[in-house]
Amino acid sequence: MQSLIHTADRIVVKVGSSLVTNDGKGLDLAALARWAAEIAELKRRGKEVVLVSSGAIAEGCQRLGWATRPKAVHELQAAAAVGQMGLCEAYEQAFRRHGLQTAQILLTHEDLADRTRYLNARTTLSTLMALNVVPIINENDTVVTAEIRFGDNDTLGALVTNLIEADALVILTDQQGLYSADPRKNPDAVFIHEANAGDAALEEMAGGAGSSIGTGGMLTKILAAKRAARSGAATIIACGREHDVLSRLADGEAIGTQLLATTTRMAARKQWLADHLQLAGKLVLDAGAAQAVRERGTSLLPIGVRAVDGAFLRGDVVACIDSDGIEVARGLANYSSDEARLIMRRPTREIEQVLGYLVEPELIHRDNMVTL
Ligand SMILES: Nc1ncnc2c1ncn2[C@@H]1O[C@H](COP(=O)(O)OP(=O)(O)O)[C@@H](O)[C@H]1O
Ligand SMILES: N[C@@H](CCC(=O)OP(=O)(O)O)C(=O)O
C-alpha cells in the first residue's frame, strides 16, 4: 500500500486545535514551524497546498486568561477573534522563513452554499495558489451562530477540498489515525490502515473528541472523508506530531489511515454539474467557440458568444449550445446575463471599457466547465 499523497497534485491539510495549541497550552510554534517546512517542501515538489487550521478559540482563551472553554457562543466568538490574530501572525512568520507568503481566508458554510460567493472563494483560492501563496483557512467564527456553524474544521476541510477540487485531504490530529474504537478508552483498539470513505462501519468505530480542546473527535473526520470523496478526493488521517509526516506521505510512505474515494474527480464534477444545479440560462456559441470548447475544452471567451438566453447571475450554471441548439458544455458563468449581453461578441480587452470593470477575462473558465 502506498500513500496517495505521492501522486496528489493539490492537497488540503487540516490541523486540529489540540495540535496547534499544544493541548490548549498556547500556540505550538515548533509544530507550526515543522508543518510550514514540510508544506514548503511539498510545494518545491510541485504540489499545491492549502492549509485549514483550527486553534483560534483555544489560543484566544489562552490569551484572555480563560482556564476553560466558555459555553456561550458570543464568548467563543470573542475568543476566536483574539486567537485568530495569533494564528495568522505565527503562520506568517513560519512560512516567511521559507520565502512563502500566506493569506488569511475566513469562511462560513453559507459562503459556500451561495453560488456567487462559492465562485468568488474558488477564484480567490486559485489565484492565491497560482501566486504561490499559502492560503490559511479557518471558519469565520465572528459571524456564525449555532445553526450555521460548520461546528468543526474537519467539515470545513472537506468543503474546501470540494471547492478547489483537491486530490486529497490530509487531516492531522493527535492520534496515528483511525482505530476500531477510541484508543484513549480502549487499549485493544485495532488500527485501520485503509478503507473506503463512506463505509458505514467506520462511523460505528468513531467516537467523540478525546480531549477538551478538540471538538469533533473521529466522527467528524469520517464524515469529512465521506464528503471529500464526493468530489473524488481521498482522505488521510494521520498524526501531526509524527516527524516529517507530510514529506513521508509525499514520498509514498503508508502512514495514517487512508480513506479512499470510489469516484474520480472528473466523474464527480460532471455529476455535480449535471445533477445538483438547475440550468439558469443558455449561451449560443459561434462555430469557432463551439469547436474550441468541444474539441479542446478551452475556456469560453465573450467574443465567441452570439446570443444570451435567460436571466442568470455570476456563479449560476448555464448551458453552452452551438448554432444547431446542441449542448456542447455547461459551466459556471463569471458574469450575469445582463453583463453577458453587453460583452458578448467583444474581445476580452473591451470588457472593462464596456462594463467599467473586469471580473475575469473568461465568460466561463474551463476549470468550471464540463463538456458533454
Ligand atoms: N475510533 C477512533 N480512533 C481514533 N481516535 C478516536 C476514535 N474515536 C474517538 N477518537 C478521539 O478523537 C480524538 C481526535 O479528535 P479531536 O480531539 O476532535 O481532534 P482535532 O483537534 O485534531 O480535530 C482523538 O484524540 C481520540 O481520542
Ligand atoms: N474555528 C475554530 C475551529 C474549532 C475546531 O473545529 O476545532 P478542531 O475540532 O480541533 O478542528 C477555531 O479555530 O478554534
Three cell numbers, residue 166 = 483537491
The CATH number that applies at residue 194 is 3.40.1160.10
Q: In angstroms, what CA-CA distances link 115 with 41, 154, 273, 299?
A: 34, 22, 12, 19
Domain limit, last residue, from 269, 297, 312: 269
The C-alpha angle with vertex 13 and arms to 7 and 18, in degrees rounded to 5, equals 145
Kindly state whether residues 202 and 347 are assigned to the same domain. Answer: no
Kindly state whether residues 294 and 210 are assigned to the same domain. Answer: no
Helices 73-96 and 56-64 cross at an angle (nearest 10°) of 100
Ligand 1 pocket test, pick from 175, 215, 237 with the greatest ligand atom count within 8 Å of Cβ, gives: 175
CA atoms within 13 A on the CB side of 293: 35
For residue 55, the CA-to-ligand 2 centroid distance in Å is 6
Kindly state whether residues 309 and 239 are assigned to the same domain. Answer: no
Ligand 1 pocket test, pick from 174, 188, 221 with the greatest ligand atom count within 8 Å of Cβ, gives: 174
Range of the domain at 322: 278-371
For residue 114, the CA-to-ligand 1 centroid distance in Å is 31
**Ligand 2 pocket, residue 59 CB under 6 Å:** no
**Ligand 2 pocket, residue 21 CB under 6 Å:** no
Kindly state whether residues 306 and 355 are assigned to the same domain. Answer: yes
Going by their DSSP bridges, the two strands 369-371 and 102-107 should be labelled as unpaired
Question: What pLDDT sits at residue 148?
Answer: 46
Residue ranges for the chain with pLDDT beneath 50 = 148
What's the start-to-end Cα distance of the chain, in Å?
35
Q: In angstroms, what CA-CA distances link 347 with 6, 30, 212, 221, 351?
A: 41, 51, 58, 47, 7
Kindly state whether residues 226 and 282 are assigned to the same domain. Answer: no
**218 labelled as ligand-binding?**
yes
Q: Which amino acid is located at 369 in the chain?
A: M
For residue 233, the CA-to-ligand 2 centroid distance in Å is 22
Domain count, the chain: 2
Kindly state whether residues 22 and 142 are assigned to the same domain. Answer: yes
**Ligand 2 pocket, residue 16 CB under 6 Å:** yes
Kindly state whether residues 261 and 305 are assigned to the same domain. Answer: no
Kindly state whether residues 60 and 205 are assigned to the same domain. Answer: yes
Q: Which ligand 2 atom is the nearest neighbour of the CA of 54?
A: 13
Kindly state whether residues 254 and 290 are assigned to the same domain. Answer: no
Kindly state whether residues 131 and 93 are assigned to the same domain. Answer: yes
For residue 332, the CA-to-ligand 2 centroid distance in Å is 31
Question: What pLDDT sits at residue 149?
Answer: 57
**219 labelled as ligand-binding?**
yes
The CATH number that applies at residue 331 is 2.30.130.10
For residue 62, the CA-to-ligand 2 centroid distance in Å is 14
Kindly state whether residues 139 and 258 are assigned to the same domain. Answer: yes
Q: Which ligand 2 atom is the nearest neighbour of the CA of 154?
A: 11
Ligand 1 site residues, Cβ closer than 6 angstroms: 16-19, 173-175, 178-179, 181-184, 205-207, 209-211, 214-218
Q: How much is the ipTM here?
A: 0.97
Kindly state whether residues 113 and 231 are assigned to the same domain. Answer: yes
Domain limit, last residue, from 216, 249, 269: 269
Which residue, 58, 83, 155, 59, is CA-closest to 113?
A: 155
Question: What pLDDT sits at residue 269?
Answer: 75
Q: Are 61 and 52 in contact (CB under 8 A)?
A: no
What residue owns the CA closest to ligand 2's atom 11? Answer: 16
Domain limit, last residue, from 228, 251, 269: 269
**141 labelled as ligand-binding?**
yes
Distance, in Å, from the CA atom of 37 to the CA atom of 88, rounded to the nearest integer, reads 16
Question: What pLDDT sits at residue 112?
Answer: 83
**153 labelled as ligand-binding?**
yes
Q: Which ligand 2 atom is the nearest neighbour of the CA of 152?
A: 6
